[in-house]
Chains A and B, each alone.
Chain A
Amino acid sequence: GDSVTQMEGPVTLSEEAFLTINCTYTATGYPSLFWYVQYPGEGLQLLLKATKADDKGSNKGFEATYRKETTSFHLEKGSVQVSDSAVYFCALPLQGGSEKLVFGKGTKLTVNP
């Protein structure tokens, strides 16, 4: 069935380091792809999304490109900040009516000053 696989965490980086969080998916068709972020003590927030192949979603310095050939949607940021410390979830909607989101297990990022 449709699913997403995220790289195992946790990830610890120093401020201004480059970030990559890998996400690969299995799906029938070409669903939209999402990255959600969960800051400590808060609910999930949409970080970015891409609706078709080769689309690049971007927000707050984060980017992810929808790559059909490698079935990937890796999250990247060139220079992380302490305030980026959070848990990041890759997600896709199951096709066929409900469009319910299926989430990866999440990757916890800690950025140290």
Chain B
Amino acid sequence: EAGVAQSPRYKIIEKRQSVAFWCNPISGHATLYWYQQILGQGPKLLIQFQNNGVVDDSQLPKDRFSAERLKGVDSTLKIQPAKLEDSAVYLCASSFRLAGNADTQYFGPGTRLTVL
């Protein structure tokens, strides 16, 4: 079975520019997650979708970050405008079961963002 796909793999932008990341989860997985992993730290959840609805976005900096999952499949995460501290790897993950039931999360390879 195909894994979680993400693009681009790498992105370099200047501060105050905009950037978007794309994720295609494993087919049939209802739940999709976006994590931010700063160098030397564990991943931190930004937002969780169940189908096309948001379950948890409590740690998403909503003044500059936005995410959507139209049609409950692919998802995009956008940063506008970017700050230096947004430099990190952005990981997408998906799981089969609905939110509320701990299930294995499958991660994509991530997008490494560098903000100059």
Residues of chain A having any CB pair with chain B under 8 Å = 31-32, 34, 36, 41-46, 49, 51, 89, 91, 93, 97-101, 103-106
Q: Are A31 and B107 in contact (CB under 8 A)?
A: no
Residues of A within 8 A of B100 (CB): 97-99
| CB contact under 8 A between A89 and B102, given known A43-B109, A98-B48, A98-B56 | no
A43 touches B102 (CB 8 A): no
Give B contacts to A, CB under 8 Å.
4, 6, 33, 40-45, 48, 55-56, 91, 93, 99-110
- With most chain A CB atoms within 10 A of its CB, the pick from B40, B91, B99, B105 is B105
Say whether A46 contacts B104, CB under 8 Å.
yes
User: Is A105 in contact with B40, judged by CB distance below 8 angstroms?
Assistant: yes
Q: List 28 A-B contacts (CB under 8 A).
A: A32-B102, A34-B104, A36-B107, A41-B109, A42-B109, A43-B110, A44-B43, A44-B107, A46-B104, A46-B105, A49-B104, A51-B102, A97-B55, A97-B56, A97-B99, A98-B56, A98-B99, A98-B100, A99-B99, A99-B102, A99-B103, A100-B33, A100-B45, A100-B48, A101-B33, A101-B105, A103-B44, A104-B42
Given contacts A41-B109, A43-B4, 6 further A-B contacts (CB under 8 A): A46-B105, A89-B43, A98-B55, A98-B100, A100-B48, A103-B44
* Majority SS at the chain A contact face: loop
